[in-house]
Amino acid sequence: MLAQTMPGTAASQPAATSTSRAAASTGGVSAPAGYILSPTDGVAIEVFGEDDLRTSGRLNPEGNLSVPLLGSIHLAGLTLTQAVSKLTELYSRDYLVSPKVNVTLLSYAKRRFSILGQVNRPGSIEMPETSEEGIDLLEAIALAGGYTRIASPERITVRRQNASGDQIFKVNAKRFTKGKGGGFLVKPGDTITVGESIF
């Protein structure tokens, strides 16, 4: 997603027709509306007419990015539109008159989940970059090499940490393989345990 501010307008707004062309030229990924930047997200920053101010990189673990003239700027926790507003304000303050700033999401932060128990390759696994919201449980199991011979797909637990504490979900993945029921979305940070079948 590309965000842009136009001179003379008070509010930032998503760029209309130039979005897909600019995103394609910088290799951006499509971010959901309202996506909030996280540490280690990859971003590109452009100031129209100021090629020497163009930069791209990953936010550091604290959520900062080194930006020409401005130094280290904290962008984590902001939407792309808010990041544009912040950079526009900072450039306008001392350096430029009515700067037009674009911020493009190049890649999502490295997001991982853990999978334990009866899979062929248990451990911590990186989610595909195109899956910001998460991945399907069956895809997660496939990334771990699939079930072992003694796995019990109907005995899967998923532990998810959130602000109110841990949530434990008991999932019967056998339902999903038969096409009954939707699926289960595995989110970054989840821990999946595939149980062993009882003979």
Q: CA-CA distance, 6 to 88, in Å (whole number)?
A: 10
Range(s) within the chain of domains with CATH label 3.30.1950.10: 2-107
User: Coil, helix or strand for 100?
Assistant: coil
pTM above 0.85, yes or no: no
pLDDT in tens, 161-178: 877 888 999 998 888 765
CATH assignment of 2-107, given 3.30.1950.10, 3.40.50.2300, 3.40.50.20, 3.40.50.300? 3.30.1950.10
**27 contacts 121 by C-beta, under 8 angstroms:** no
**87 contacts 67 by C-beta, under 8 angstroms:** yes
Q: What is the pLDDT along the chain (199 residues), one digit of tens a residue?
A: 444 443 333 333 333 333 333 333 446 677 777 888 988 889 999 999 999 999 999 999 899 999 999 999 999 999 999 999 999 999 999 898 999 999 999 887 778 899 999 999 999 998 887 676 788 899 999 999 999 999 999 999 999 987 788 899 999 888 876 555 568 899 888 999 999 988 6
CATH topology of domain 112-196: Outer membrane lipoprotein wza fold like (3.10.560)
**188 contacts 135 by C-beta, under 8 angstroms:** no
